[in-house]
Amino acid sequence: MVTIKDIAREAGVSISTVSFAFNGTAPVAPETKARIMEVIKRLNYQPNSAARGLVTRKTNSVCLFTPHPATDFFSFSGNNDFNGLLQGIGEVLDHKDYNLLLAWDSLGHKTKTPKLVKLMRERAMDGVLICLPEHDFQTIEELTEQNFPVVIVGSNSQANRVNSVDVDNYEISYKNTRHLLGLGHRRIAFISPGPLNYLVCEDRYEGFKDAMEEAGLRLRDDYLYIGDEKEQSGYKAAEHFLTLKEPPTALVAGRDAQAVGVIDYARAHGTSVPGDLAIVSFENSAAAVKYGISSATTNLYEIGKEGARLMLKLLGRKKDRAPQNVVIPSELVVRESCGGRSSALNADVKAEADADQA
Amino acid sequence: MVTIKDIAREAGVSISTVSFAFNGTAPVAPETKARIMEVIKRLNYQPNSAARGLVTRKTNSVCLFTPHPATDFFSFSGNNDFNGLLQGIGEVLDHKDYNLLLAWDSLGHKTKTPKLVKLMRERAMDGVLICLPEHDFQTIEELTEQNFPVVIVGSNSQANRVNSVDVDNYEISYKNTRHLLGLGHRRIAFISPGPLNYLVCEDRYEGFKDAMEEAGLRLRDDYLYIGDEKEQSGYKAAEHFLTLKEPPTALVAGRDAQAVGVIDYARAHGTSVPGDLAIVSFENSAAAVKYGISSATTNLYEIGKEGARLMLKLLGRKKDRAPQNVVIPSELVVRESCGGRSSALNADVKAEADADQA
DNA sequence: CTGAAAGCGCTTACAG
DNA sequence: CTGAAAGCGCTTACAG
């Protein structure tokens, strides 16, 4: 292993000068610097990260704390595009020469995060991006108190207290529902992508609820189905809804996979989509394209990018400021499944949407 | 930040004794140890990883080096279950209290791996698991020469020179093809899941080729289609094959997504699967289940686990031994798509397969 | 069983 | 512009 001493000896200078030259942290005579850099290049020197970290108190790495892959969270979360999140985070981090540490708690712990606290205490990373279905705000507070940068990526019920980046699931769901209402539907059902105590699910349900109530429609228990991340739950939901005395004419699917399940059921039972049942969904995944599902975008790539950017910003700051909450825009991509694709209808919806904005 | 000095002062001992007690690296009087541990617990002490790493020369972290997520490699590689790989690696690493570093080269570099060399030189990790479609063996050799542990996870053309863990794609493809031959097919086509210079593709093609040649069948150029990771390429392949003067009666799909594309085409054109076209594939993904595709398993979870285990073994070793190549078993899950599901047929195939083993 | 001391490879005041 | 020295927080011989 070639150390700074080797470079110093070979270049005939002190180790401080090598450090200054390499890091550009103090002026060094051009000829001296050139000589040093030549030796560095020749000997393939790279400063030992542990030694450097020990004195700078920085690891130059950021941790992404997520559920253990086995929990299938990214499949759950309304987007199985974990790669998109990773890509966004990775690109921003790489650009600033930060490393990415991937961590999760051992299986079994639900919202407890001992591993995270341990990593913070041993200073294994400079900051953490947390992406979980439910949060352990006690731990987060503990980290924040120690001035340890935390950014929540995805749903976050304590928005004003913690830095975060997410789409606005409530707003998206509200607009999805308004879209169906705008098409004339009154009997609209909702499939939750998971238990309602999960933040994403709660937000999506609330948006649906408020849009319905604003339209003067009451919520029917039999028009709510609590599903999970799988296609099968959409299939089951469709079975439930379509065998009711008075089936819904439209539904808000909790995620694209569920919408696919609904369509599979409809195809198998001669139900027309959107004729008998109009569908809007969340995610805008590849499946939405393939099945012609109208779906609102959840750009995990952008969420990852903004999350990493916010983290880097926090790391570059001396004093802490008030938490920041970044909202990534989303839009409903209208396809066949909702029956709102005809240009005339679209124009109406568009106008209505614009009016909503004002 | 609470350091070993704080603990030593509070417990009224020297820092060495604290270290010995905490790490169990030297005998400490029971009462002393109890007192120290109490203080450690009370003050929430966790040794600084950089300081520790500086002297032990270990980071206790392993790097997974993969293509940048944007390259969609895991979608390509015959299995988009990146989570499975992560889960396998993560579980084993967690168990031994190792951290996982995720790294890739900046976009643009293809098989060059400067980032990897940099991470090794600065000692940011103890070893690396490499999972790439093509390998930069010059870099790998460089790492190996420095006694830096390397394990290739997935395809590897230099098996005997580098540690690796993978399924045997050649063997799987050979058996897939034999399965179709066993069902009586003679006009069998092959769709490659990517360019033939990719190792996975080459292996799968070679297995197909050898099985065909052994059966005394010649390879027809028009029965080979070079696709990519997307469903669409299966659709296109089906279009190509089924509009030939003499269309194949069976085909080996390069991956499940392609098989899905083929089935989509068949459904849209009234072609019966397996009646007019029998299909076997690779991956055994959720899509294979949904579409009833006969597909050979690629257990990325197991590959990840064995990869991490091998890495840990290497890290615990003083002297280096000859490279080890772990093969993860695979089996063909027979479903409707190949027409080989009837028990009678299966019995034949089974018998034949057994005969092959002998 | 315990402590004083050296040292891991860097960065960073501090002198000059 | 350059160097000698202290020190980051640990581990690990070495004495006793």
User: Is B82 close to A87, i.e. CB distance below 8 A?
Assistant: no
| Distance in Å, alpha carbon of A100 to nearest chain B alpha carbon | 6
Give the pLDDT band (50/70/90) at residue B108. Answer: low
Nucleotides on chain C that have an atom closer than 7 A to a protein CB are 1-5, 7-13
CB-CB neighbors (< 8 A) of B54 in chain A: 48, 50-51, 54
Residue of A54, A56, A285 for testing the chain B interface, max B β-carbons within 10 Å: A54
Asked if residue A176 belongs to a domain, the reply is: yes
Is A312's pLDDT higher than 70? yes
B50 touches A at CB < 8 Å: yes
CB-CB neighbors (< 8 A) of A103 in chain B: 99-100
The mean-pLDDT minimum among A155-159, A337-341, B114-118, B221-225 falls in A155-159
pLDDT of residue B111: 53
* Same domain assignment for residues B158 and B20: no
CATH number at residue A91: 3.40.50.2300
Q: Quick one: average pLDDT of B105-112?
A: 60
Nearest alpha-carbon partner for A168 in A216, A210, A140: A210
Q: Which of A305-314, A347-356, B83-92 has the highest mean pLDDT?
A: A305-314
Residue type, A61: S
Count of structural domains, chain A: 3
Q: Quick one: average pLDDT of A175-185?
A: 95
CB-CB neighbors (< 8 A) of B121 in chain A: 44-46
- A–B CB contacts, 8 A cutoff, strictly below: 107
| Distance in Å, alpha carbon of A86 to nearest chain B alpha carbon | 7
Nearest alpha-carbon partner for B300 in B91, B96, B128: B91
From CA A199, how far away is CA A155, in angstroms rounded?
Answer: 6
CB-CB neighbors (< 8 A) of A118 in chain B: 46
A67 touches B at CB < 8 Å: no
Half-sphere exposure of A285 (CA within 13 A, CB side): 21
User: Is A101 close to B103, i.e. CB distance below 8 A?
Assistant: no
The domain containing residue B23 runs over which residues? 4-47
**Main-chain phi, psi angles of B6, to 5 degrees:** -60, -45
* Same domain assignment for residues A13 and A121: no
From CA B39, how far away is CA B34, in angstroms rounded?
Answer: 9
* Same domain assignment for residues B215 and B336: yes
Asked if residue A90 belongs to a domain, the reply is: yes
Of B54, B68, B119, the CB nearest to A50: B54
Q: Which helix (H) or strand (E) holds A62?
A: strand A61-65
Q: Which residues 6+ apart lie within 8 Å of B296 measured at CB?
A: B172, B175, B176, B280, B281, B282, B283, B284, B330, B331, B332, B333
Determine the distance between B103 (CA) and C10 (C1') in angstroms. 24
Is B114's pLDDT higher than 90? no
Burial of B146 (0-12, 13-18, 19+ CB in 10 A): exposed
Q: Which residue is nearest to nucleotide C9 (CA to C1')?
A: A51
A78 touches B at CB < 8 Å: no
Q: Quick one: average pLDDT of A141-165?
A: 85
Is B155's pLDDT higher than 70? yes
User: Is A103 close to B102, i.e. CB distance below 8 A?
Assistant: no
For chain A positions 4-23, those within 8 Å of chain B (CB to CB) are none
Residues contacting nucleic strand D by the 7 Å CB criterion are A 12-17, 20, 26-33, 51, 54-55; B 1, 3-5, 15-16, 19-20, 22-23, 25, 45, 47-48, 51-52, 54-56
Is residue B64 within 8 Å of residue B102, measured between CB atoms? yes
Asked if residue B53 belongs to a domain, the reply is: no
| Distance in Å, alpha carbon of B181 to nearest chain A alpha carbon | 33
The mean-pLDDT minimum among A156-160, B119-123, B164-168, B187-191 falls in A156-160
The secondary structure of A303-334 as a DSSP string is HHHHHHHHHHHHHT-SS--S--EEE----EE-
Q: Which residue is nearest to nucleotide C11 (CA to C1')?
A: A55
**Main-chain phi, psi angles of A328, to 5 degrees:** -90, 125
* Same domain assignment for residues A13 and A126: no
Asked if residue A53 belongs to a domain, the reply is: no
User: Is B99 close to A101, i.e. CB distance below 8 A?
Assistant: yes
Taking only the tens place, the pLDDT of each residue in B295-325 is 999 888 899 999 999 999 999 886 667 888 9
Asked if residue B56 belongs to a domain, the reply is: no
| Distance in Å, alpha carbon of A122 to nearest chain B alpha carbon | 4
Nearest alpha-carbon partner for B229 in A335, A293, A286: A286
B232 touches A at CB < 8 Å: no
Give the pLDDT band (50/70/90) at residue A36. Answer: very high
The mean-pLDDT minimum among A131-145, B24-38, B65-79 falls in B65-79
Residue type, A356: D
The secondary structure of B79-140 as a DSSP string is ---HHHHHHHHHHHHHHTT-EEEEE-PPTT-SS--HHHHHHHHTT--SEEEE--SS--HHHH
pLDDT of residue A2: 93
For chain B positions 108-147, those within 8 Å of chain A (CB to CB) are 118-119, 121-124
Is A3's pLDDT higher than 90? yes
pLDDT of residue B76: 37
User: Is A99 close to B99, i.e. CB distance below 8 A?
Assistant: no
Is residue A282 within 8 Å of residue A221, measured between CB atoms? no
From CA A122, how far away is CA B40, in angstroms rounded?
Answer: 13
From CA B37, how far away is CA B7, in angstroms rounded?
Answer: 9
The secondary structure of A78-123 as a DSSP string is T---HHHHHHHHHHHHHHTT-EEEEE-PPTT-SS--HHHHHHHHTT
Asked if residue A56 belongs to a domain, the reply is: no
Q: Quick one: average pLDDT of B127-132?
A: 92
* Same domain assignment for residues B294 and B304: no
Asked if residue A54 belongs to a domain, the reply is: no
Determine the distance between A121 (CA) and D4 (C1') in angstroms. 34
Query: Which nucleotide in the DNA or RNA is closest to residue B17, CA to C1'?
Result: C2
For residues B176 and B136, the model is more confident at B176
The mean-pLDDT minimum among A90-99, A185-194, B66-75 falls in B66-75
For residues A78 and B249, the model is more confident at B249
pLDDT of residue A159: 64
Is residue A338 within 8 Å of residue A180, measured between CB atoms? yes
Q: Quick one: average pLDDT of A161-169?
A: 91
Determine the distance between B55 (CA) and C14 (C1') in angstroms. 28
Taking only the tens place, the pLDDT of each residue in B231-276 is 899 999 999 999 999 999 999 999 998 999 999 999 999 999 899 9
For residues A77 and A54, the model is more confident at A54
Q: Quick one: average pLDDT of A328-354?
A: 66
* Same domain assignment for residues B100 and B37: no
Q: Which residue is nearest to nucleotide C7 (CA to C1')?
A: B55
Asked if residue A89 belongs to a domain, the reply is: yes
Is B179's pLDDT higher than 50? yes
Give the pLDDT band (50/70/90) at residue A230. Answer: confident
Of B51, B107, B122, the CB nearest to A46: B122
Q: Which of A122-126, B199-203, B229-233, B281-285 has the highest mean pLDDT?
A: A122-126
* Tokens representing residue B180 in the block: 């179709």
Give the pLDDT band (50/70/90) at residue A343. Answer: very low
CATH number at residue A27: 1.10.260.40
* Same domain assignment for residues B105 and B142: yes
Taking only the tens place, the pLDDT of each residue in B39-64 is 999 999 999 999 999 999 999 999 99
B234 touches A at CB < 8 Å: no
* Tokens representing residue B312 in the block: 């840990």
* Same domain assignment for residues A30 and A175: no
* Same domain assignment for residues A279 and A207: yes
Does the CB of B15 fall within 7 Å of any strand C atom? Answer: yes
Taking only the tens place, the pLDDT of each residue in B268-301 is 999 998 999 999 999 898 889 989 999 999 888 8
CB-CB neighbors (< 8 A) of A139 in chain B: none
Q: Mean pLDDT of all residues in chain A? A: 87
User: Is A102 close to B101, i.e. CB distance below 8 A?
Assistant: yes
Give the pLDDT band (50/70/90) at residue A76. Answer: very low
* Same domain assignment for residues B260 and B350: yes
Q: In what order do the strands lie in the sheet with B278-283?
A: B224-226, B188-192, B250-252, B278-283, B294-297, B332-333
Is B349's pLDDT higher than 80? no
Is residue A36 within 8 Å of residue A18, measured between CB atoms? yes
Give the pLDDT band (50/70/90) at residue B156. Answer: confident
Q: Quick one: average pLDDT of A60-78?
A: 68
Taking only the tens place, the pLDDT of each residue in A82-114 is 778 888 999 999 989 999 999 987 655 455 678
* Same domain assignment for residues A284 and A177: yes
Q: Quick one: average pLDDT of B68-79?
A: 50
* Same domain assignment for residues A183 and A311: no
Is residue A185 within 8 Å of residue A250, measured between CB atoms? yes
